[in-house]
Amino acid sequence: MEWKPEQIRLAVAQQLKTDSLLGIQDVPMHIEAPSMSRATAAQPAADPLEDSGRTEQLQILNRTSVVGCTKCGLASTRTQTVFGQGSSAPRLVFVGEAPGYEEDKKGLAFVGKAGQKLTDMIVAMGLTREDVFICNVLKCRPPNNRDPSAEEILACRPYLQQQLQILQPEVVVALGAPAAKTLLNTAQGIGKLRGRFHDLYLSGTEGVGPSIPAMPTYHPAYLLRNPAEKRKAWDDLQMVMALLGLERPG
Ligand code: URA
Ligand code: SF4
């Protein structure tokens, strides 16, 4: 099988990001080219019409509901709402907590330091940010990045549920406790929840309608502060890769 330069470039990037994710300094001399099966994640949607339908549905949700939303107090302190971005036919969706300073300024999810770490995690999985969809539980920044309140989460979560209903991913990764607790309707901490798949109900109500698997893991900002936990996060991501049939690097 012939390896295209782009495939080799992706394989090298994946290996390097995996090493940096795990804090490994030595770069292996030989890097296996990726198997073709991995390319399935980057393939265009089976039905392009379906894909553009989802793009339009997402735009409608954003423009008619989120952009001008005043359902909670954060409307008065935000610079702008942050809907989230990425593929509109993703196999995998990442859900974080809330926009921070950079996100509030740019209107995009995960574009600051934590975002760079999330990019490393995505590339280590053999994917790109464009393959996946990235968003948050809250669409507006809490002042000084304080924790989201229960009222804010309650007001905003219908938007997240609608995003997931439109996107129909095969699996969701919940980054950190607020995302995991919101999506899985549980009070358990992230340390207890991580390491296994849970049922995420697209309706938002436990046991009602279809569910998809969700993997809770540590938030990239937490990994920046606690690098010793990176191994566990990588174990979680490898379970997601196995579910999606993505190959491990190297
Ligand atoms: N942290 C989050 O949870 N979301 C972002 O978009 C950025 C940082
Ligand atoms: Fe609306 Fe959510 Fe922003 Fe609150 S955080 S104003 S509910 S979009």
80-87 mean pLDDT: 98
**Spacing, Cα 144 to ligand 2 middle (Å):** 16
103 lines ligand 1 (CB under 6 A): yes
Helix (H, G, I), strand (E, B) or coil at 110: coil
Question: Is residue 23 over pLDDT 60?
Answer: no
Structure confidence at residue 21 (pLDDT): 64
What's the whole-model pTM score? 0.85
Q: What was the pLDDT predicted at 8?
A: 65
Q: DSSP letter at 200?
A: E
Residue 79: per-residue pLDDT? 98
**In contact, 1 and 232? CB cutoff 8 Å:** no
Q: Which ligand is nearest to the CA of 143?
A: 2
Residue range 146-180, pLDDT digits in tens = 999 999 999 999 999 999 999 999 999 999 999 99
**Nearest ligand to the CA atom of 94:** 1
Question: Quick one: pLDDT band at residue 26, thresholds 50, 70, 90?
Answer: very low
| pLDDT exceeds cutoff 50 at 32 | no
Q: Is the CB–ligand 2 distance for residue 153 below 6 Å? A: no
Q: What are φ and ψ of residue 12, in 5° steps? A: -65, -45
Q: Where are the domains of the chain?
A: 50-244
Ligand nearest to the CA of 105: 1
Distance (angstroms) between ligand 2 centre and the Cα of 125 equals: 31
50-244 placed in CATH 3.40.470.10: yes
Closest CA to ligand 2's atom 3 = 140
